[in-house]
Amino acid sequence: MPETSLPPHDREMPLSEHLRELRDRVVIVLAVTLALMAVAFPFSSSLVDIVLGHVVPASATLTVYEPLELLKVRIIVSFLAAVTIGFPLLVYEAFRFAAPGLYQHEKRFVYAVFPFSLLLFVAGSALAYFVTMPLFFDLLFNYEGSLASPELSIGQTFTIVTNFMLGFGVVFQVPLIILLAIRMGLVKRKALVDSRLVVYGLLVGFAVFISPDPTMLSQLIVGVVLILLFELSLLLARFI
């Protein structure tokens, strides 16, 4: 590649040097993550109580069905807390590794897109945690009524909650994906407007696919949210 085609601060480096730099940055992130996990672990039981206490009805009993189930959940909670606290470091190290190979306009693009993406992910996770999950468990237990005493595996319940939050966070990236597709010329805004009903059907089908919920509550919420996000994307696309 001609030298003039390289970004201003880029320079040719041997593959071994790239790998060494990547290794060093990964080691830093892992070391900080493990240290934060060690700090968070003593508080992990309280964090589990807070997370599950909000979404699980008071009438349900959280039960441990395996000898190490609670320990596994505490380790996962400690890891999630460490990643959340150390996320700025992860972003910083990743950007420092990639920055020399980026042009100035590409860096500006990253600066603009990343906060928007992070905000959408947090909004989706918050919707799942504060709205969808409490409604899901309440509806589930009200449906069962008094036929059985509700007991939940603490491990499986925590997995359901985290999967819902992760899924909703990913779903909320739809506006960003659509805007990027329009900006890159992969699709025209007018084509999306003209095919609005078809897109609605595809979004609802996608909601059913990613939300295996027998109550159909989460599918309904995800479907409505996806349609609203799609309309928001079309509105924002008018200004790009």
How far apart, in whole angstroms, are the C-alpha atoms of residue 125 and residue 196?
Answer: 26
Same domain, 136 and 96: yes
The alpha carbon of 50 is separated from its chain's Cα centroid by a whole number of angstroms, namely 20
Task: Quote the pLDDT of residue 3.
Answer: 45
Which of 36-40, 132-136, 206-210 holds the top average pLDDT? Answer: 36-40
Same domain, 35 and 154: yes
How far apart, in whole angstroms, are the C-alpha atoms of residue 97 and residue 38?
Answer: 27
Same domain, 152 and 203: no
- Confidence (pTM): 0.77
176 or 30: whose pLDDT is higher? Answer: 30
Residue 42 within any structural domain of the chain: yes
Give the helix/strand (H/E) hosting 113: helix 104-127
Same domain, 35 and 108: yes
Same domain, 29 and 138: yes
Of 161, 188, 215, the residue that ends a domain is: 161
Same domain, 34 and 81: yes
Same domain, 116 and 156: yes
Residue 168 within any structural domain of the chain: no
Q: Whose structure tokens read 């009524």?
A: 145
The parent domain of residue 185 ranges over 173-240
